[in-house]
Amino acid sequence: MSWLFGGNKQTTKEEDLKQTLGFDPAQVSDVSSIINSPGVFDASRLHPLAGLDKGVEYLDLKDEQLNDIEGSKGLIPSRSWTDDLCYGTGAVYLLGLGLGGAYGFQEGVKNLPKNAPPRLQLNTILNHMTKRGPFLGNSAGVLALTYNMIDSSLDYFRGVHDDFNSLGAGAIAGALFRSSAGLRPMAYSTALMTGAAGAWCGVKHLLK
C-alpha cells in the first residue's frame, strides 16, 4: 500500500533509473568512489539488466528486513511490529473464539430443554456457542491488540525486546481494558494480564 502511505517509493525510482540508464548514477560521482565501491568490476552488475537475475525485484525490496530490535526473534516469522500485531491478534482472537465456543457448548449442554426434539436441542447448543464464542473472541482480540501495541511501543522506546516489556505491556493493557469498571476489576484484570504475559514469555523461552 505504498501509494497510500508513501512507503518505499524512492527505492523503486532508483531501481528504475538504474534500468533506464544501464548503470547506477550514484556510482559515477567520483573516480575513487567507483574504484572503492565493492563489486563494481563485476560484469553482471554493469550489465544493463543488472539486478534482474535476482528474480522479481519486489521480493527483495523491503520485506526482507527482519525485525532488528535485539532479542526479537520469536515463534512466528516476524519482520516488523505490524507482523507481531497481526499474528498475535489473529491467533489470540481464534483462541478466544475456540475457548468461548467450548464454554458455550458446555453451557448449552447444561441448559438443554427436557423432552425436546433433537433439532431444538442442537439449536440450543448452537445458540449458546454463537453467543459466547464471538464475545470472548472479541474481548481477547482487543486485549491482544492493546498488548501488542503497547509492547511494540515499549520495545521502540527502550530499544530492547525483553520480558519486562511484555510484563509491563500486559499490566497496562489489563488496566486499560477494565479501567471504566472501577478499581477492583481493574486490579484483577491487571494481575490476570500480567500473569498471562508472564506465561507467554515462559512458553516462548521453553520453545526457543
Partner 1 sequence: MSNILSVFNPPPARPLSDEEVGTGCFPCTAMQALTALAGGAYLASGYVFKDLDTGKIDLKKNPMWWQRSVRGMGTVVVGFGVFRGAEAIQMLAEGLE
Partner 2 sequence: MSADHARDPCPIVILNDFGGAFAMGVIGGCVWHGIKGFRNSPYGERRYGAISAIKARAPVLGGNFGVWGGLFSTFDCSVKAVRKREDAWNAVIAGFFTGGALAIRGGWRHTRNSAITCACLLGVFEGVGMMFLRAFAQPPVQPIYAEEGAQLAA
- Residue 43, number of CB atoms within 10 A of its CB: 7
Distance of CA 38 to the CA centre of its chain: 36
* Binder among 103, 123, 134, 198 for partner 2 (CB under 8 A): 134
Q: Does 207 bind partner 1 (CB under 8 A)?
A: no
∠ CA 43-13-21, nearest 5°, is 40
Count CA atoms closer than 13 A to 137's CA, side-chain side.
Answer: 17
- Would you say the C-alpha torsion 194, 199, 205, 208 has a positive or negative sign? negative
Task: Compare residues 86 and 186 and give the one whose CB is closer to partner 2.
Answer: 86
| x-marked contacts with partner 2 along 78-117 as a string, rule CB under 8 A | xx--xx-xxxxxxx-xx-----------------------
Q: Does 63 bind partner 1 (CB under 8 A)?
A: yes
Please choose, from the candidates 101, 72, 96, 77, the residue with its C-alpha nearest in 3D space to the C-alpha of residue 87.
77
Contact 143, 92 (CB under 8 A): yes
Q: Does 130 bind partner 2 (CB under 8 A)?
A: no
Window of 38-46, 92-100, 120-128, 162-170 that interacts with partner 1 by CB under 8 A: 120-128
Point out which residues bind partner 2 (CB under 8 A).
Answer: 2-3, 9, 12-13, 16-17, 20, 59-60, 63-64, 66-67, 73, 75-79, 82-83, 85-91, 93-94, 134, 137-139, 141-142, 145, 180
